[in-house]
Amino acid sequence: MEKPIIRNCSDQFWFVILLFFLLLSVLLCFDYSAFYDAPNNGFLFSVTKQENPFAIAGNKTSFNPDPCKSRYIYIHELPRKFNYDLLEHCEILTRGTEKANMCPYIENLGFGPEIENSQGVFTNSSWYFTNQFMLEVIFHNKMKSYECLSNDSSLASAIFVPSYAGLDVSRFLWESNEKVRDSSGRELLQWLASKPEWKRMWGRDHFLVSGRIAWDFRRQFDNASLWGSKFRFLPESMNMSMLAVEASSWKNDYAIPYPTSFHPSKDAEILQWQSKIRKQKRAHLFTFIGAARPELENSIRGKIIDHCRNSSFCNFIDCSYDGSEKCDNSINVTKVFENSVFCLQPSGDSYTRRSIFDSMLAGCIPVFFHPGTAYSQYLWHLPKNWNKYSVYIPVRDVKEWNGNVEKILLRFSGQEISAMREEVIKLVPSIIYADSRSKLERFEDAFDLAVKGMLEKIERVREMIRNGKDPALGFADEDHYKYTFSNY
Ligand SMILES: *[C@@H]1O[C@H](CO)[C@@H](O)[C@H](O)[C@H]1NC(C)=O
Ligand SMILES: *[C@@H]1O[C@H](CO)[C@@H](O)[C@H](O)[C@H]1NC(C)=O
Ligand SMILES: *[C@@H]1O[C@H](CO)[C@@H](O)[C@H](O)[C@H]1NC(C)=O
Ligand SMILES: *[C@@H]1O[C@H](CO)[C@@H](O)[C@H](O)[C@H]1NC(C)=O
Ligand SMILES: *[C@@H]1O[C@H](CO)[C@@H](O)[C@H](O)[C@H]1NC(C)=O
Ligand SMILES: *[C@@H]1O[C@H](CO)[C@@H](O)[C@H](O)[C@H]1NC(C)=O
Ligand SMILES: *[C@@H]1O[C@H](CO)[C@@H](O)[C@H](O)[C@H]1NC(C)=O
């Protein structure tokens, strides 16, 4: 998303008006500071003083004296066992069922090893072999260079909890004793609740980030045969928010994009990439990269694969068994996406896939079959009018479904396709995590949008408290309709 243009200086008349209000408000400020020194009311008036005296001029953003107002974030200093120690002992972390070691992915602030030579698949710099589970590390590092950090938690609008919750729980997810799975999360919550910051809003201004899907923390009952930890059902956790690559259906979980391989350090690198994928020749009408899910009864994957195999317009890359290596490699995967007009994104083990973002990054128009794959997830990052950037083929009942993907996609005209692809290309900055070692000037990245979204949610809770309402109302409720077809 492009940043809104803040100043509009061409009009001299407005400039004079502005000058007048500036003078006026300097006077106002003097008034305020007289009150401000009153010792007993220090805190109260510091709030009042921050209220923008220029607001009468009509445009809050343009004349805001403190660009960080309402955006300050305080980073909790956690015991190292909840973050840094996990990286130091990276050999104990797993990527899931396969036991491959996570250590190589930690370098470069969590982006992983830099890709030196992509044989023309990528642009020349800022591409990495990034692992999705490193999102917590990437986010933490980006937060460390966030422009509105505050050392003083009492001035901060939000409290960031830099725990690597997903990496932590991954050590125990395959552990049969469910109490062991919950233990580290429980300790973290005890620590948080013992801090003075907790009592201010009972945790409702606290948030953390997970590179694993939120369901991994949503075990509803104490039954060892059920999946996951119950971290997010513990009482303190219910008062907090979590950002994860896939949200659960509870309202205090929010979805943010999976990390891709692209972490540009300047605007120009984004523009260069956009122009490369805009010019790309695309030999295939549609592509599916993935594996079947025969063990999942209601999985659409099998049908999609049959369909793809039958169609001369489809390019199917099989990731099952020996194919998994090839599908893990960003260069190979992106090469395929760059060569296709549409990319099929059926759900797999969970609703979402990293592949959504890898394919969009390559300028491939996504095709979704379920609202939970993207539309009801990435509300801060993907636009509401989904038909502009994607194709939706709702499959309410997999067994009954006999839709013809090829026929549906062949119906789009060249012009319609170009327009949709342009929308996808425009979304590139919003779905990437830019390099935290520098700052983008013109674009807001996935981190910026996530922080903005989170701050707005917390502000709404604060507003409820100010209005004497119970902040617990609706905060952590289950949304039974979130992943149904009723809204889409
Ligand atoms: C005031 O802000 C609005 C929206 O934020 C913008 O459209 C408008 O151009 C701004 N006006 C001035 C005078 O900057
Ligand atoms: C990218 O790198 C290649 C090989 O090192 C070089 O030939 C090419 O000019 C570079 N392109 C840009 C845009 O820097
Ligand atoms: C926080 O405080 C430390 C030491 O008091 C100081 O070095 C650092 O610059 C401060 N950071 C911010 C963001 O104010
Ligand atoms: C745990 O879940 C399994 C499978 O759902 C069920 O068969 C079993 O009875 C449950 N055990 C307890 C103690 O609830
Ligand atoms: C959660 O917030 C409520 C207020 O809404 C508070 O009464 C409760 O004690 C909090 N829970 C914990 C564990 O702090
Ligand atoms: C694929 O082709 C086979 C043989 O022509 C046919 O039986 C099957 O129904 C087709 N599958 C799909 C999904 O089109
Ligand atoms: C990428 O694809 C090429 C050609 O298909 C293959 O030879 C190579 O092994 C693949 N690389 C990886 C890392 O899978």
Backbone φ and ψ of 463, nearest 5°: -60, -40
User: CB of 156 within 8 A of CB of 206?
Assistant: no
Pick from 65, 88, 107: which residue ends a domain? 65
Same domain for 61 and 86, yes or no, is no
Specify which residues 243 forms β-bridges with: 209, 254
Domain annotation covers residue 213: yes
Best of 73, 144, 151 for a ligand 3 pocket test (most atoms within 8 Å of beta carbon): 151
Q: pLDDT-derived band of residue 25, with 50, 70 and 90 as boundaries?
A: low
- How far, in Å, CA of 443 to CA of 242, rounded? 24
Same domain for 205 and 91, yes or no, is yes
Structure tokens at 74: 């305080």
Q: pLDDT-derived band of residue 61, with 50, 70 and 90 as boundaries?
A: low
- How far, in Å, CA of 431 to CA of 427, rounded? 7
Distances from the Cα of 398 to the Cα of 225, 277, 342, 452, 457, angstroms: 27, 33, 21, 37, 36
Structure tokens at 272: 């260069």
Q: pLDDT-derived band of residue 162, with 50, 70 and 90 as boundaries?
A: very high
For 119-143, the pLDDT digits (tens) are: 899 998 999 999 999 999 999 999 9
Q: Which amino acid is at 19?
A: L
Mean pLDDT of 278-304: 90
**Average confidence score pLDDT of the chain:** 88
Same domain for 59 and 183, yes or no, is no
Q: Ligand 4 in contact with 223 (CB < 6 A)?
A: yes
Mean pLDDT of 173-178: 86
What is the per-residue pLDDT for 324?
56
Q: pLDDT-derived band of residue 35, with 50, 70 and 90 as boundaries?
A: very low
What is the per-residue pLDDT for 42?
32
Backbone φ and ψ of 285, nearest 5°: -70, -45
Reported in sequence order, the residue ranges of 185-269 that DSSP labels E, i.e. its strands, are 206-210, 241-244, 253-255
Same domain for 306 and 221, yes or no, is no
Same domain for 149 and 201, yes or no, is yes
User: CB of 17 within 8 A of CB of 7?
Assistant: no
- For residue 412, pLDDT beyond 60: yes
Q: What is the CATH number of the domain that holds 380?
A: 3.40.50.2000
Q: How many angstroms does the Cα of residue 223 sit away from the middle of ligand 4?
A: 6
Q: Ligand 6 in contact with 463 (CB < 6 A)?
A: no
Q: Ligand 6 in contact with 310 (CB < 6 A)?
A: yes
Same domain for 230 and 283, yes or no, is no
**Number of domains the chain is built from:** 3
Domain annotation covers residue 467: yes
Q: Name residue, tokens 């590092």.
A: 141
Domain annotation covers residue 438: no
Same domain for 338 and 461, yes or no, is no
What is the per-residue pLDDT for 32?
39
Structure tokens at 143: 């937060």
What is the per-residue pLDDT for 46?
33
H/E segment holding residue 324:
helix 324-328
Q: How many angstroms does the Cα of residue 154 sit away from the middle of ligand 3?
A: 15
- For residue 9, pLDDT beyond 70: no
Q: Ligand 4 in contact with 117 (CB < 6 A)?
A: no
What is the per-residue pLDDT for 40?
36
CB atoms within 10 A of CB 1: 14
- How far, in Å, CA of 71 to CA of 444, rounded? 15
Q: pLDDT-derived band of residue 293, with 50, 70 and 90 as boundaries?
A: confident
What is the per-residue pLDDT for 389?
98
- Domain range for 35: 12-65
User: CB of 484 within 8 A of CB of 43?
Assistant: no
- For residue 85, pLDDT beyond 60: yes
- Nearest CA, atom 6, ligand 6: 310
Residue 89, C-beta contacts closer than 8 angstroms, at least 6 positions apart: none
H/E segment holding residue 290:
strand 284-290
- For residue 159, pLDDT beyond 50: yes
Backbone φ and ψ of 409, nearest 5°: -75, -30
- How far, in Å, CA of 411 to CA of 336, rounded? 23
Domain annotation covers residue 271: no
- How far, in Å, CA of 135 to CA of 272, rounded? 25
Q: pLDDT-derived band of residue 175, with 50, 70 and 90 as boundaries?
A: confident
Distances from the Cα of 370 to the Cα of 157, 352, 405, angstroms: 35, 10, 14
User: CB of 50 within 8 A of CB of 92?
Assistant: no
Same domain for 358 and 417, yes or no, is yes
Same domain for 241 and 327, yes or no, is no
- How far, in Å, CA of 94 to CA of 98, rounded? 7
- For residue 475, pLDDT beyond 70: yes
- In degrees, rounded to 5, the angle at the alpha carbon of residue 238 between the alpha carbons of residues 215 and 446 is 60
Q: Kindly give the number of the ligand 5 atom that is closest to the alpha carbon of 204.
A: 2
H/E segment holding residue 341:
strand 340-345
Domain annotation covers residue 4: no
- How far, in Å, CA of 62 to CA of 8, rounded? 9
- How far, in Å, CA of 376 to CA of 480, rounded? 12
Least confident stretch, 110-114, 210-214, 294-298, 299-303:
294-298
For 297-352, the pLDDT digits (tens) are: 778 999 999 999 999 999 999 988 664 567 889 999 999 999 999 999 999 889 99
Ligand nearest to the CA of 152: 3
Same domain for 335 and 410, yes or no, is yes
- In degrees, rounded to 5, the angle at the alpha carbon of residue 57 between the alpha carbons of residues 52 and 63 is 55
- Nearest CA, atom 5, ligand 7: 332
User: CB of 290 within 8 A of CB of 355?
Assistant: yes
Domain annotation covers residue 440: no
What's the alpha-carbon Rg for the chain, to the nearest Å? 24
- In degrees, rounded to 5, the angle at the alpha carbon of residue 423 between the alpha carbons of residues 417 and 427 is 140
CB atoms within 10 A of CB 201: 18
Same domain for 80 and 192, yes or no, is yes
Domain annotation covers residue 473: yes
- For residue 89, pLDDT beyond 60: yes
Same domain for 22 and 82, yes or no, is no
Share of the chain above pLDDT 70, in %: 84
Q: Is 264 exposed, middle or buried (0-12, 13-18, 19+ CB in 10 A)?
A: buried
Domain annotation covers residue 343: yes
- Nearest CA, atom 12, ligand 3: 151
